[in-house]
């Protein structure tokens, strides 16, 4: 049997002491690093005083490190997604994407997106022929019909789900984005986009689009492309809304027609839930329209076609219709509404 000598006891004690000291040092360094990161995250929000008030209303204090980190990472992720989609939109449609525009978007989101999710609304401006009096606001680049894109603009706001629904309904009714957003009392920013290449010179020039126009949205979940329409006078640049979310775009047979869901319809289906009978009805109708099986009846005074649809378990289910607009390049599903109002307008379903 071996008995430890005094020197051996000293060696083991020294080893354990050194190990404990190293662990303690690393723990202190890690705590210091976390404290620095937490201070930076809090400073990210505190740069704008209104954010501190929002955090108080959310009952988030400086000491709530985990919640502050979660909110910080959520906004950074949303910033990256919006920036990537904004660049993708500009690249697909030949528009100039400047670092200044992306920086403005990120700064706006840092200031306002604690109070609501980002809603990004985009428009392309086309130069059209003198005799072109048709309204064409199809949502994807395949619907441009060869018309040169001469520019565009973008709007960004932060909105709650209920406010997004109201904005979408106003856009569908022909309101400009600025008007629709102001009606909800939300702050917003907007800017113009220039074309990378100037279009071919025509015999007649056309004035630029006057002021803010129409568009759709940015949503955090992946959705199909969606346009938003607005009436325009003959021979003026056509406003074409194109939403930012382009991931997971459905593939279709080459012979099928393009069917797109509006911002309003997407908001309505989100409120109903993916498993609701109404959502399944919309998916079935969408598939039929893609394959050329047209449904419903014309509402010529409203420029829509209407298909009966149910709002399961809700009063008034027999008055609701899915309204859509056929276009030469495809079909746009506008939303669920009631046109039996007696005054020639549509009452959109909002829950």
Say what the pLDDT of residue 135 is. Answer: 29
CA 122, CA 151: separation in Å to the nearest integer? 11
Quick check: 104 pLDDT over 90?
A: yes
pLDDT at 116 (0 to 100): 87
CA distance 348 to 336: 6
For range 82-92, the mean pLDDT: 89
Residue 118's pLDDT is 92
Q: Which of 63-72, 131-140, 150-159 has the lowest mean pLDDT?
A: 131-140
Task: Report pLDDT for 73.
Answer: 92
Q: Are 94 and 199 in contact (CB under 8 A)?
A: no
H/E stretch holding 28 reads helix 6-46
Please give the average per-residue pLDDT across 107-130, as a whole number. 80
CA 146 to the chain's CA centroid = 26
27 pLDDT band, cuts 50/70/90, is: confident
Domains for the chain: give ranges and CATH numbers: 253-351 (3.30.2310.20)
- Rounded Cα distance between 300 and 326, Å, is 12
CA distance 21 to 233: 78
d(CA 237, CA 119) in angstroms, rounded, equals: 24
Least confident of 54-58, 114-118, 310-314, 321-325: 310-314
Mean pLDDT in residue range 37-56: 92
Least confident of 113-117, 136-140, 270-274, 314-318: 136-140
Report strand pairing: 258-261 vs 330-338: parallel
Note the pLDDT of residue 143: 38
What's the burial of 3, exposed, middle or buried (CB within 10 Å: 0-12/13-18/19+)?
exposed
Q: Which of 148-152, 167-171, 346-350 has the lowest mean pLDDT?
A: 148-152
Q: How far apart are CA 238 and CA 197, in angstroms?
A: 18
What pLDDT sits at residue 15? Answer: 64
Pairwise CA distance, residues 38 & 23, whole Å: 22
Over residues 209-223, mean pLDDT: 36
Q: Does the pLDDT of residue 75 top 80, yes or no?
A: yes
Calculate mean pLDDT across residues 187-210.
66
pLDDT tens per residue across span 275-289: 888 888 899 998 888
Calculate the average pLDDT of the chain: 74
User: 317 or 103: whose pLDDT is higher?
Assistant: 103
pLDDT of the residue at 18 = 64
215 vs 255: which has the higher pLDDT: 255
Q: What is the mean pLDDT of residues 41-53?
A: 92
Q: Is the pLDDT of residue 228 over 60?
A: no
d(C-alpha 329, C-alpha 308), whole Å? 24
Whole-angstrom Cα distance, residue 208 to residue 74? Answer: 38
Query: What's the CA dihedral at 147, 151, 155, 156 to 10 degrees?
Result: 100
């Amino acid at each position: 049997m071996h008995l430890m000598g005094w020197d051996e006891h000293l060696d083991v004690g020294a080893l354990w002491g050194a190990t404990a000291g190293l662990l303690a040092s690393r723990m202190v360094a890690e705590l210091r690093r976390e404290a620095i990161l937490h201070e930076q995250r809090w400073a990210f929000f505190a740069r704008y005083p209104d954010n501190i008030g929002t955090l108080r209303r959310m009952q988030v204090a400086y000491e709530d490190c985990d919640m502050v980190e979660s909110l910080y990472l959520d906004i950074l992720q949303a910033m990256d997604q919006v920036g990537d989609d904004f660049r993708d939109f500009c690249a697909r449609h030949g528009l100039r994407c400047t670092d200044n525009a992306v920086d403005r978007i990120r700064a706006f989101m840092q200031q306002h997106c604690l109070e609501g999710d980002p809603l990004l609304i985009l428009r392309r401006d086309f130069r059209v022929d003198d005799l072109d009096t048709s309204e064409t606001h199809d949502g994807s680049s395949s619907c441009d019909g060869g018309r040169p894109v001469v520019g565009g603009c973008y709007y960004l706001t932060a909105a709650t789900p209920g406010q997004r629904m109201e904005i979408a309904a106003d856009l569908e009714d022909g309101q400009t984005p600025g008007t629709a957003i102001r009606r909800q009392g939300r702050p917003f920013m907007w800017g113009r986009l220039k074309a990378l290449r100037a279009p071919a010179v025509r015999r007649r020039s056309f004035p630029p689009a006057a002021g803010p126009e129409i568009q759709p949205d940015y949503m955090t979940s992946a959705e199909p492309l969606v346009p938003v329409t607005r009436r325009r006078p003959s021979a003026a640049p056509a406003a074409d809304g194109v939403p930012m979310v382009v991931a997971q775009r459905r593939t279709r047979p080459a012979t099928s027609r393009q069917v797109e869901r509006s911002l309003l319809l997407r908001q309505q289906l989100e409120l109903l839930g993916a498993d609701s009978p109404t959502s399944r009805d919309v998916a079935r109708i969408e598939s039929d329209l893609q394959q050329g099986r047209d449904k419903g009846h014309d509402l010529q005074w409203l420029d829509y076609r209407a298909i009966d649809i149910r709002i399961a378990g809700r009063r008034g289910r027999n008055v609701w219709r899915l309204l859509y607009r056929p276009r030469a390049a495809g079909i746009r599903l506008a939303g669920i509404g009631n046109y039996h109002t007696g005054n020639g307008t549509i009452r959109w379903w909002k829950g």
